[in-house]
Amino acid sequence: MKPVRWPLLLATLLLIGAGRPWHWSLPLGEAPPPVPVGNAMSGAKVELGRRLFYDADLSANGTLSCAGCHEQHRGFADGNRTRPGVHGDPGLRNVPGLANVAWLPRLTIADPAITNLEAQVAVPLLGEHPVEMGMKGMEAELPRRLGADACYRRMFARAFPDRRGQIDIATVSAALAAFERTLISRDSPYDRDRRGQADALSMSARQGAHLFADKGCASCHAGRDFSDGAYHRLEPATATDPGLAEKTGVASDAGRFRTPPLRNVAVTGPWWHDGAAQTLDAAILRHGQKLTDAERIAITAFLDSLTDQAFLTDPRFAMPDEACGKKL
């Protein structure tokens, strides 16, 4: 009888586990979001990404995780006007929610070049204007920290058998992106109404939906997630935040910002790119549209109907209780 080659057997089992097809949890008939060829979905990768999302060791001083700015019960926004980084730098812009982020064609408020989640991870992790998690120049520290944990070593090995379980910025980004692609919100009253549930929407919300279209709101807040992905200027540019012009260098782009998606918008406040609108009503008024009080109330009711309570409480998106069979 030939001896069992345990390292080879382990590697084979890891490849089999990581290669199992990922099963999307989607409404009947809905196509899954696009996934890059180089970062195929797997249960092991999503599990790892979820743990990383809640781990403050991804920040320079160990005080800020992704979830520190993206709280599930707030639609993965954070409730602050802007969010200071680990070094106390004042935040520049309001934290966006993450519902259905896998479908968005552009992923930041003012940088059209970032079109995939793997690249977007670098913005908070390594960005310097402003500094958020502060890991720029400390890239080698990340594998040292995570690699010191035996459970993380096992999780990376399962998630990335083709890379021999390598722990670095690339695999951390890939795992986080895989988890974020699972943050799917498709069970709001609005969605249930579209699927034919007659009593899903209140009369006021239904009126608001018609007004939302009739008043031109849907021309920018378009599609399933209520964003055209384009950059618009609704107010004069300010010296504080040049918007799109910061990246393009084109003067006429000053003050342009991406149309924000509206999934779960009622819980993601404060609103606007600078977080200056403290209520949904204030955010609506800031668009400059002339509306009666009754029209604003109806549109607000419609926006409330985009809240997906199941998404906000889904345990699959919450901080994991355990990893590798042990409590965290």
pLDDT reported for residue 239: 86
CB 190 within 8 A of CB 212: no
Q: Per the domain annotation, does 63 fall within a domain? A: yes
Backbone angles phi, psi at 258, to 5 degrees: -65, 140
C-alpha to C-alpha distance for 257 and 260, rounded to whole angstroms: 9
Residue 53 lies in a domain: yes
What is the pLDDT at residue 20?
66
E strand residue ranges, the chain: 231-232, 257-258, 322-323, 326-327
> Are 108 and 208 within one domain?
no
Cβ neighbors of 164 (< 8 A, separation 6 or more) are: 157
Same domain? 74 vs 178: yes
Tell me which residue of 318, 323, 105, 309 sits closest to 223, measured CA to CA: 105
pLDDT per residue, tens digit, the chain (328 aa), is 444 443 433 344 444 445 567 999 899 889 999 999 999 999 999 999 999 999 999 999 999 999 999 999 999 999 999 999 999 988 889 999 999 999 999 999 999 999 999 999 999 999 998 999 999 999 999 999 999 999 999 999 999 999 999 999 999 999 999 999 999 999 999 999 999 999 999 999 999 999 999 999 999 999 999 999 999 999 999 888 999 999 999 999 999 999 999 999 999 999 999 999 999 999 999 999 999 999 999 999 999 999 999 999 999 999 999 999 989 8
C-alpha span between 89 and 80 (Å, rounded)? 14
* Dist. CA 70–CA 97, nearest whole Å: 7
Q: What is the pTM of this model?
A: 0.93
Query: Using CA of residue 318, residue 175, residue 184, residue 262, what is the dihedral sign?
Result: positive
In a domain, 285, yes or no: yes
- Characterise 216 by phi-psi region: left (phi > 0), alpha (psi -120 to 50), beta (else): left
- Would 125 be classed as within a structural domain? yes
Q: Tell whether 12 and 122 lie within a shared domain.
A: yes
Q: 69 and 174: one domain?
A: yes
The answer to the question of residue 254 being in a domain is no
Q: According to the model, what pLDDT value does residue 90 have? A: 83
Q: What is the pLDDT of residue 28?
A: 87
Residues 123 and 11 placed together within one structural domain of the fold: yes
Question: How many of the other CB atoms lie within 10 Å of CB of 123?
Answer: 14
> Which of these, 300, 297, 235, lies nearest to 265 by C-alpha position?
300
Q: Are residues 212 and 72 in the same domain?
A: no
CA 260 to CA 98: how far, in whole Å? Answer: 11
Q: How many CA atoms lie within 13 A of 291 on its CB side?
A: 24
pLDDT of residue 6: 38
177 and 89 within one domain: yes
For tokens 């989640």, the residue is 117
User: What pLDDT does residue 89 have?
Assistant: 84
DSSP 114-149: --SHHHHTHHHHH-BTTBSS--TT-TTHHHHHHHTS
pLDDT at site 328: 87
Q: Torsions phi, psi of 231, nearest 5? A: -110, 120
- CATH at 274: 1.10.760.10
256 falls within a domain: no
* 98 is a domain residue: yes
Radius of gyration from C-alpha coordinates of the chain: 21
Q: 12 lies in which domain range? A: 6-23+39-185+312-327
